[in-house]
Structure 1
Amino acid sequence: MVIDVLSALAEPTRLSAMRMLAGGGEHCVCALMRHCGASQSRMSRHMAVLKAAGLVVDRRDAQWVRYRLSPALDAETLALLHAAVACAKANERRAA
């Protein structure tokens, strides 16, 4: 599972989506699209990878799909996720 998680987080759009979701709560795919600058089809493909890696769960709400962190994440995977998010934030600050 660690390889799946690392592979999922290695792609910038997916890591950006996870940064948003790691803040807590549930976000519709439209908000993730805006945040990541991705089309609906591209965002859906990325979210499918994150779901397959066990990082997110989804819920259909009328025509929208809402995503949140998987409540089944173990402590090690959560630590890995938070480390990846922290590194991405630090890199972004250095680049600015």
Structure 2
Amino acid sequence: MGIPDIRQLITLEFEVFGHVQGLNFTKDTRERCTKLGITGWVKNSKQGTIVGKMQGPKEEVEKMVTWISSEGPPGCQIDRCDLRCQSNLNRLDYKDFAIRF
């Protein structure tokens, strides 16, 4: 039997509402996720929100969820952050964290 991996991997989709576009939200999200070892993607939506998907160690993803739902980059006004499709993962689907257009 192998040693269990204490780094439980999770995946989730998010959408951030408020005054969030045009403030480097996608760039800052990518930089932070890359530093934390989180993979996935982020983009501006046509509805004026920020949408994306994060995959990585549960603890690190939870740190990012806190940042995107309450802090964000300077100048932004976050009204709410919806999380969807959260589940555990055996392995990551993405190699890195990308900004999509």
TM-score by shorter chain over 0.5: no
In proportion to residue count, which structure has more strand? Answer: 2
Higher RCO structure, 1 or 2 (CA under 8 Å, sep 6+): 2
Task: Compute the TM-score of the two structures, normalised by the length of structure 2.
Answer: 0.30
TM-score, scaled relative to structure 1: 0.31
